[in-house]
Chain A
């Protein structure tokens, strides 16, 4: 009994040591690390937004006609829109929508795509063919097009846009994982596990999955940014979030009518999108440097 505890102790210690090493490597790249910090900052903002927002009533509906289309000032940091609403509050609140929306989309995409990819790669044969043909069909659409079509047909709303994104994104993960599984499947330790009689699902999830998770992590972290971008694009086109939801892309779209009179209107939400997506991409890129065995230095 004490031997077992010892084993887990050492295992935990080793895992912690590995984690420490990853953090150390991450810290080395100052750019990635700063991006990581900014993302943490954004997450915190998103969580405490309802508390720190200066004009909570302006987020959705309240109309404040006398203050409409004011340029940035100390009261209204980002200026106001055509209904007199404080843009700073709206953009702040939009952080919640974008971050939460992209988290849900990526998480659901992984939940659908990863098991399918594992099954396709592991079982091979007809299951593999079937799943991969469907994946090919989905991936033969240029990016964004399928999401646009689905969102347009389902009806324009934030929820439908997220659903459209989930449907468009899961095939990427399936293809990614399947490729990894196929190459890992042939390795000795998988055959050994099979020979001892480990049940298939255990082989898939406890043996194979941990070995091919790194590219998926890298891809998913960059996708968090990419989905925010796509979601904003869908809202910009009018088939995503609808008024009065303060989604960043939608705010940019609404700003187009008042473009000549109020330059600040569209600039700030777009800047928010840019910075957020930039940080996710930097993080994903940095993670790739750390996790990818090929680029590892000796």
Chain B
């Protein structure tokens, strides 16, 4: 089952004016069929890069996939030729984006956009494509499907647009949906509707959802399992209950708003312009902001260590603890 979707040793670099920056460095990430898997991270952690790399729509300069594998149903997506990955896009793996207005082409009607995709991917003629389009619009619970077909994107509201985008993404039978911050640009009240829709569709169509966001609470509510992404590395992975109940990594604790009360808040190291300290000088990428850092964190890379059935953490405190045979839970 864990061979459904697997990322292994993925390293992605970016060419910037300041040299080559490593943006993604993920050892292992698995998805199970039919689950909702959440990835949470702050802006700049590499979430969108990760999402786009799966479908290989990363702009290739400046991004370069240095090494790694993305296995989907036994095939390595990174090794496929352009024609082969095109067969996967839309039909097996689909993506929805953050801004519903800019994701839709403003000079075509919504109906034309859905039908274009359906006609091209499923090779249907015009009438059948129209029927399919209507079916999808109804599936995403938009009223007055027939008239919606003829509307331009600027005539719809944000929530309606996002539903159309979900319709387009799922119109050709995709079984893995990558949702890159789908509700970020929507009002809170509309957000709930979209999230509910995605979940219902997941159950109805039996699809797997990879949900990416920077709103921590949202991700934990929506997903079954969660991975925390910091500067391109996965620092904690587990079920949402596990992590919520017992977040181990200091960054996760920060994200969830839990800070240890009885520890002194030592000086955070800020990047210093005078001495030109770069944040990449330390082994653990979270070193500078970590309140629980130790000497070993400077030099040794921490590795993803299993501490529960499904709970993995990337932090020296855990490894230390294991070595010293302390108890599994940390007392606050």
Contact = CB atoms under 8 A, between A and B. Distances in A.
Touch A–B, Cβ below 8 Å:
yes
B152 interface: no
Contacts, number: 12
B147 interface: no
A249 B15 CA distance: 46
A61 B273 CA distance: 62
A298 B273 contact: no
Contacts of A24: 17
A154 to B, nearest CB: 47
Contacts of B17: 21, 24-25
Nearest to B21: A298
B61 interface: yes
Nearest to B14: A298
B273 A297 contact: no
B325 interface: no
Interface residues of A, number: 7
Interface string A13-33: 100000001001100000000
A21 B16 CA distance: 12
A297 B14 CA distance: 10
A293 to B, nearest CB: 13
B16 to A, nearest CB: 6
Nearest to B16: A298
B62 interface: yes
A13 B17 CA distance: 18
Interface in B45-80: 61-62
B273 A10 contact: yes
A11 to B, nearest CB: 12
Contacts of B61: 297
Contacts of A298: 14, 16, 62
Interface in B1-50: 14-17
B57 to A, nearest CB: 15
B178 to A, nearest CB: 21
12 contacts: A10-B273, A13-B273, A21-B17, A24-B17, A25-B17, A297-B15, A297-B16, A297-B61, A297-B62, A298-B14, A298-B16, A298-B62
Interface of B: 14-17, 61-62, 273
The 5 tightest CB contacts between A and B, nearest first, are A297-B62, A298-B62, A21-B17, A298-B16, A298-B14
